[in-house]
Amino acid sequence: MVSSFDGTELAIHRMGSGRPVLLLHGLFSNAEMNWIKFGHAQKLADTGFEAIMPDLRAHGESGAPHDPASYPDDVLAKDVLALVDALGLDDFDLVGFSLGARTSARAVISSLTPRKLVLSGMGLEGLAGWRKRSAFFIDAIDRFDEVKRGDPAFMAVSFMKTMRVDRVAARLLLQSVADTVPDQLAALTMPTMVLCGDKDQDNGSAPKLAETLPDATYVEIPGTHMSSVTEGALGDALVEFLNESAEA
């Protein structure tokens, strides 16, 4: 565990040794589901990296406070900055999927300087249009016990049930995430891979995001937003991109 800026405990999972790579999971998920279960962290460990995988606030084994004061604007980016400081990371890579990609972008805008950056499961509209996206999930939480198969929120509710999400904490967290307007993306100057499933439009256009960033490459893998994290191609793409960084 690492204590964040406000004392909230963040669970940290590690695998391998070598160059640090910080991996941030998606909404309602955790490090185990996004990075460990389907072998992505192991692939990184096998090729000379230390995979450092926090459970985000209100997720997994990390603290999930119910006090609204524990969810200031950009709280997840603040957590990442505190975590990097606590772990003494000064030369590392940063990878985020979905909410983790939003958090990664916000952390870089806030001053974080990873050597390489991966934004996965994210498009340009998803970064700028979080309020609409979060409203969908807040509605799913509010109607949690009423949602039936066929409802647009059914998959979100099913995943929350599978992951045993603390809905009080999750609702507070959803309201703390900030939009990122295109002008702010100029801060993401490091080499970046925009990695997305070929059937994933949940967060808008990933190719447009790559075109907007100062130094980005778009890489496509199989899958929808939910299934792309289960594909071995995700781990393979991370290894290829980050090893290019290590060899540069």
pLDDT (0 to 100) of residue 133: 86
pLDDT at 194 over 50: yes
pLDDT at 247 over 90: no
Summarize pLDDT for 93-151 with one digit per residue, the tens: 999 999 999 999 999 999 999 999 999 999 999 898 888 889 999 999 999 999 999 99
What does pTM read for this prediction? Answer: 0.95
**Residue 218 and residue 210 in contact, taking contact as beta carbons nearer than 8 Å:** yes
Q: How far apart, in whole angstroms, are the C-alpha atoms of residue 184 and residue 212?
A: 10
Q: Domains in the chain, start-ordered, CATH in brackets?
A: 2-128+179-247 (3.40.50.1820)
Summarize pLDDT for 198-210 with one digit per residue, the tens: 999 999 999 999 9
3-class secondary-structure state, position 21? strand
pLDDT (0 to 100) of residue 248: 43
pLDDT bucket at 81, cuts 50 / 70 / 90: very high
Q: How far apart, in whole angstroms, are the C-alpha atoms of residue 76 and residue 86?
A: 15
H or E segment and range at residue 218: strand 216-221
Rounded to 10 degrees, what is the CA torsion of 137, 142, 143, 145? Answer: 110
For 34-121, list the strands marked E by DSSP.
49-54, 93-97, 117-120
pLDDT at 246 over 70: no
pLDDT at 58 over 90: yes
The candidate with the shortest Cα–Cα distance to 136, out of 37, 55, 203, 186, is: 203
Q: Find all residues with CB under 8 Å of 10, minimum gap 6, and list them.
A: 1, 2, 3, 4, 54, 55, 56, 57, 62, 63, 79, 83
Q: How far apart, in whole angstroms, are the C-alpha atoms of residue 99 and residue 168?
A: 18
Q: How far apart, in whole angstroms, are the C-alpha atoms of residue 40 and residue 140?
A: 29
Higher pLDDT, 225 or 181: 225
Residue-averaged pLDDT of the chain: 95
pLDDT (0 to 100) of residue 244: 86
